[in-house]
A and B are shown apart, each in its own frame.
Chain A
Amino acid sequence: MAAETVDISNAMVTAPATLGDWLVVAPVAIPLVFGAVLLMVRHETRFHAGLAIAGLMATFAANVGLLERVLSEGPQAMTMGRWLPPFGISFAADALGASLALVATLVAIVCAIYATKEIDATGRRYGFYPFMLLMMAGVGGSFLTGDVFNLYVWFEVFLISSFGMLVLGSTHRQLDGATKYAILNLVGTTLFLTATAFLYGTFGTLNMADIAGKVDAMRDTGPLMTLTVLYLLAFGMKAAAFPLNFWLPASYHTPSIVTAALFGGVLTKVGVYAMMRILVMLFPVERAVLADLIAWVAAGTMVLGIMGALAQSDIRRVLGFVVISGVGVMMAGVALGTEAGLTGTVLYAFHSIIAMTALYLLAGVMNGLGGSYSLHELSGLYRNYPLLAAFALLLVLSAAGLPPASGLWPKVILVRASLDAGLPWLSFAILLTGLLTTVAMGRVFILTIWRQTAKPAENDTVVAGRPAVGYAALAMLSLPILLLGLYPEPLIRIATVSATGLLEASSYLGAVFPMEAQP
């Protein structure tokens, strides 16, 4: 037979997969498996929370292992089906993807714990936890994949799961919000697919490392500028950048608060991550041409976003606009494209994932105690719940970017980076956003915590015991917020490694193509 003489080492990976290889896919495989198991036991709602938390804990452990390995040994890659890249679909974890996946899993664990109180048996039977696990699988896949089309597929995986979480409960408000969210996000990902079609037509490959290696040769002949603009549009829509952000304030305040917390923390950052990966790593020259445009979009997003927050009287809607404003701050680093700017963006993403989830959960605890999300009705919480007031103060400082909380250092780095890059107006926009955020969030704090309560007697009757689960969730998120505020060095180091990994893709390329790295 001819087949016996064929040397497959030119087409297939012949070495057995090592433990490190498996770690690359574990943060995606574990939540997928647990999500599938949860679907099978859909009617046994009493097992759901435990299984989901166990699954996310296992994912978290895999993420920690992966990040540790990436930091000590450089980017890790695994190619599916043992076909050599670029023919097999590669998963490639560098410091950026691994660290974001880790932080996202952390807030998912906290949300799963908080949901034990928030989501009742009906919500569980309709599949809250399976949706959540599958969404985290999609998010993890987006952070770790090394293939553009695969990135599109993971986007769709977490998008369809997020639809499920968003409409769970089917109130009028949810249906209204979900319709807008679903349609606009689907248009956004279809734009992403359009750009990917042209990318494939231009390069003949969809492997990110392969594209990064070939992009210089295509610069004279390929329509790279068109591709970059299309990707900016698609990811800007996913990240809720002005003027493509209108789906976010229309929907994020409608679902249950734990869903909103997870969405507000994690989902927009996936868009920012994709923007960094594609625009900064694959098309650096084209990004530099678009830098002014991205900077204006960033400034518009952050300033107009926070001005939207100032006009709202529902805490959840205030927070929706604060999420948008944070996306603008992160895009400022993408516009700069320098190592310092990207470091600030990555660090701000860590901060924003944790702080926004914590703020939404704080709103949930306030609603549980005060019976409302409205700034007109919530008042005097300090009187009965000083611990809640302490959490609220820390989180307000964090969102505003004031010490000792987590928002300070990323903003310091970004302001300095934009001054160094000769864009003083961009640093002014970041500082103005900080001031307006202080006003918006400070007002939330003053009105809900400090204001004299109008009806103290009735307020006391609402109390149904201390919200132990809510406090536990807030405490779990306050620790990393304080850590990032008081001792930011380790996280700044991870962010710097991430930024250099984007700008100098050679180690990423070497991980995906180990044969060509040692000629």
Chain B
Amino acid sequence: MEVALSVFVGIFFAVAIYLMLSKHIIRILLGVSIFGNAVNLTIFTVGRVVREVPPIIPEALQTPDTITANPLPQALILTAIVISFSFFAFLLVLAFRTYQELGTDDTDGMRVAEPEGEPLPPLGY
């Protein structure tokens, strides 16, 4: 199971990095989204995958009597999903606003903050 998941994680990372290398903001954002999910899947995999045994302690005992699923990766992933989803939502709005205002989502054309051919500072006075 870990092997299959690791292959999946690898594919996710590859797709994410390929998309993020694009010049277009929307593709970069899709890449960022997949990147976040690749990491979530990584956390899930490194937390050791076991059969679906809930971590519930029997009433008479103080510790679980069998190996149970590890709940911590799920807590971590839940946090990471909430964060990456909210960031993705913010970035989508930001990218759309930028596209509306600047008229392009090509990063080569986004030179408003750093215009090309700026004059050098004065060399004397």
Contact = CB atoms under 8 A, between A and B. Distances in A.
Interface residues of A, number: 48
Contacts of B38: 194
Given A178-B94, A179-B25, A197 B113 contact: no
A183 B113 contact: no
Contacts, number: 120
A190 B119 contact: no
Interface SS of chain B: helix
A447 B122 CA distance: 8
A172 interface: yes
A375 B110 CA distance: 24
Contacts of B113: 173-174, 176-177, 180, 250-251, 253-254
B121 A313 contact: yes
Contacts of B46: 197-198, 200-202
Interface in B12-48: 20, 25, 28-29, 32, 35-36, 38-39, 42-43, 45-47
Given A156-B87, A193-B39, A193-B80, A201 B20 contact: no
B95 A179 contact: yes
A195 B26 CA distance: 26
Interface SS of chain A: helix
Interface string B86-106: 110011001101100110000
Given A190-B35, A194-B42, A254-B113, A179 B94 contact: yes
Nearest to A315: B121
B interface bracket (residues with beta carbon within 8 Å of A): 35 or more
B83 interface: yes
A202 B107 CA distance: 38
Contacts of A447: 121-122, 125
A268 to B, nearest CB: 18
Contacts of B25: 179, 183
B50 interface: no
Given A153-B83, A200-B46, A249-B114, A175 B101 contact: yes
Given A446-B125, A447-B125, 15 more contacts: A2-B59, A6-B62, A167-B94, A176-B102, A179-B25, A179-B94, A187-B32, A197-B42, A201-B45, A201-B47, A250-B113, A313-B119, A376-B119, A451-B125, A452-B125
